[in-house]
Structure 1
Amino acid sequence: MTFSIVARCAQSGQLGVAISSSSPAVAARCARAQAGTGAVSSQNVTNPELGPLMLDRMASGARAAEAVAAARDGDTDPEYRQLLAIDARGTTSVHSGPKALGIWTSAEGRDCAAGGNMLKNDGIPAAMVAAFEAAEGTLGDRLIAAMKAGLAAGGEAGPVHSAGLLIVDKQSWPYADLRVDWLDEACPIAALSDLWKLYRPQADDYVTRALNPSGAPSYGVPGDA
């Protein structure tokens, strides 16, 4: 009940995941990333344990394919899982078990991989990869472009209700971790795009506030000096 993309920015080294689903709070369960290591999604009939497992393997030097294989082979029900991974080198891997739901498929491209289940059609991941490769701007901009392309190509068989964007840079904490956990009528991908447009100009400032508070810009709220 999900479609997602994992990706790397070759220029900045940032890694990220964008994801959407008809289920609530999909990013909280499925999306994981670690700076300098990789970005992953563990979706379909989700086992949230597999995301950290893949990242741990990549942090120990494994490539994306090795990390996905370890998660698949270590799980008791791999036939239900869909796993996507990209490592810090930009290599990707996807596992889609034969009991993934509905129409399921995946596509891999330059510095990205996309996959989904319960899709409207089997061309959606390829459309997401093409949009990511063609898009300009920051990693967040390109991930949002991919999600919009996936939705325009058909998205899920039913309406999506949640979406998320997770990006890591050089620090141990996320550069951006934006979530739309449930919208009943409005489109969560459009809402996530608006949220990213709001957050993007401030993202570097939040890093500065953590590392160099005396040099941080004003918060721009009442009472701030």
Structure 2
Amino acid sequence: MYLNTFSISARCTVTNMLGVAVSTAVPGVGGICPFVQPGVGAVSTQAWVNPYLGVDAMKLLSEGKSAEETLKTLVDCDPGRAVRQLGIVDSAGQSAAWTGDQCVEWAGHRTAPDVSIQGNMLVGSETVVAMFDAFSATAGDPLHERLVKVLEAGQAAGGDKRGKQSAALVVFDKESYPYIDLRVDEHFDPVVELRRVYEVAKQQYLPFVEGMPTRENPLGALGEDVTEMLLRSPADRPGGSLSLVPHIVMGIPFGNKSKIRPLEEGLILIAMQVEGSCNRYIRTQHLSKPSGNLSFWTRYVAHRQSPVQSQVDTINGQVFLKFLNHPVGK
């Protein structure tokens, strides 16, 4: 699989946390590109991706090899080196990167102590430059926050020239389990969605992780306030949640068919984007006879009024079009 990707591998000089953030126009990037181990290193393997480069990098780094030594060993032994891209940061903050000469343009990388930023099939070098500048400008932030900001900067500068589909963030602290591991596996705006999920996780998940059992304290130290918060329903916690909004189709581009389960007769919620001008509407068209409770619809942007009565609702910061009078099942 060729992953036309932009990513960052990095280390925090204050906490020694290690992490990777990555986005691409292929589903599920978080499952095959980032490799991180606490006290060992952070690696992103991409382009004509070979996950074993990440696996082997972790082994070499854990044996005491530096980022540069690890990179040289991996590249020298890889017959597909011309189409590979790697970014490595070791536990001491040394960094190294490789961009094969047959990676799809624009392709390149930039390294400095504690960081490696790399990308291929990008709109141009400005993506990597913007990411590097964002990392440099956020030196006082926690590593996980810096990584999200770097992805946002890369996307704002153009990102993957084919479009957008998935994104991931993974950071390890001292424990063998991740401090944070978030994935947006398929979405029309994955970096934006990663930011939304991350903001919820900061308020609901990270306080829980910080009180979880550790090797030194197997009982953990979960505060009463965190326990009380987690006993509430997701929507009633700080940051809210979309998990209790039923039957919402998220992340499907306009024009694609989608299965939407009616909330009730004549009332359907469909995810939508609002792009500035208020004269952009969503129109529905019935495509086929529904099976059971499922209706099949197509959605597209039209510069005219929607043919059915509707209203725009905002739920936890996400905008939806609510159809009030469209007959379901006819």
Answer yes or no: same fold by TM over 0.5.
yes
Higher helix share: 1
Partner of 1:215: 221
Q: Do structure 1's residue 100 and structure 2's residue 103 form an aligned pair? A: yes
Residue of structure 1 equivalent to 2:116: 113
Tell me the equivalent position of 1:149.
153
Q: Distance in 2 between matches of 1:214 and 1:129?
A: 37
Asked if structure 2 preserves the Cα contact closer than 8 Å seen for 1:140 and 1:196, the reply is no
Q: Does 1:177 align with 2:181?
A: yes
- Distance, in Å, in 2 between the alignment partners of 1:199 and 1:160 is 22
TM-score, normalisation: structure 2: 0.64
After superposing on structure 2, the runs of 4+ consecutive aligned residues of structure 1 that deviate more than 6 Å are none
Question: Do the aligned partners of 1:180 and 1:192 also contact (CA within 8 Å) in 2?
Answer: yes
AA at the equivalent of 2:124? N
Conservation of the 8 A alpha-carbon contact between 1:20 and 1:189: yes
TM-score, normalised relative to structure 1: 0.93
The answer to whether structure 1 residue 138 and structure 2 residue 142 are counterparts is: yes
Mapping for residues 31-180 of structure 1, pairs under 5 Å = 31-135=34-138, 136-180=140-184
2:213/2:221 contact within 8 Å kept:
no
Higher mean alpha-carbon deviation, 172-181 vs 104-113, is at: 104-113
Aligned to 1:192: 194
CA shift for structure 1 position 51 = 0.3
- Give the secondary-structure state (helix, strand or coil) at the position aligned to 2:170: strand
Tell whether the 8 Å contact from 1:101 to 1:117 is kept in structure 2 after alignment.
Answer: yes
Unaligned ranges ≥5, structure 1: none
Alpha carbons 1:110, 1:133 under 8 Å: kept: no
Find the residue that maps to 2:231 and give its secondary structure. coil
Q: Distance in 2 between matches of 1:9 and 1:18?
A: 14
How many positions carry a matched residue from both structures?
A: 221
1:7 aligns with 2:10: yes
- Comparing 28-37 with 198-207, greater Cα deviation is found at 198-207
- Residue aligned with 1:160, SS: coil
Query: Match for 1:176: what amino acid?
Result: I
Q: Residue 128 of structure 1: CA displacement?
A: 0.5
Deviations 1:3-52 (A, max 9, x none): 00001110000000000000110111110100001100110010010001
Q: Which runs of 5+ in 2 are unaligned?
A: 234-330
Contact 2:213–2:220 (Cα < 8 Å) also in 1: no
Task: Check whether the contact 1:109–1:133 (CA below 8 A) recurs between aligned residues.
Answer: no
Summarize deviations over 1:61-104 as a string: whole Å, max 9, x none. Answer: 11111111111112221111001100111111001111112210
Aligned-residue identity in percent? 32
3-state SS, counterpart of residue 18 of structure 1: strand
Instruction: Output the CA distance in 1 between the equivalents of 2:54 and 2:114.
Output: 19
Give the RMSD, CA atoms, in angstroms. Answer: 1.6
Larger Rg: 2
Shift of 1:207: 4.2
Q: Distance in 2 between the 1:153 and 1:64 partners? A: 28
Give the drift of 1:205: 2.4
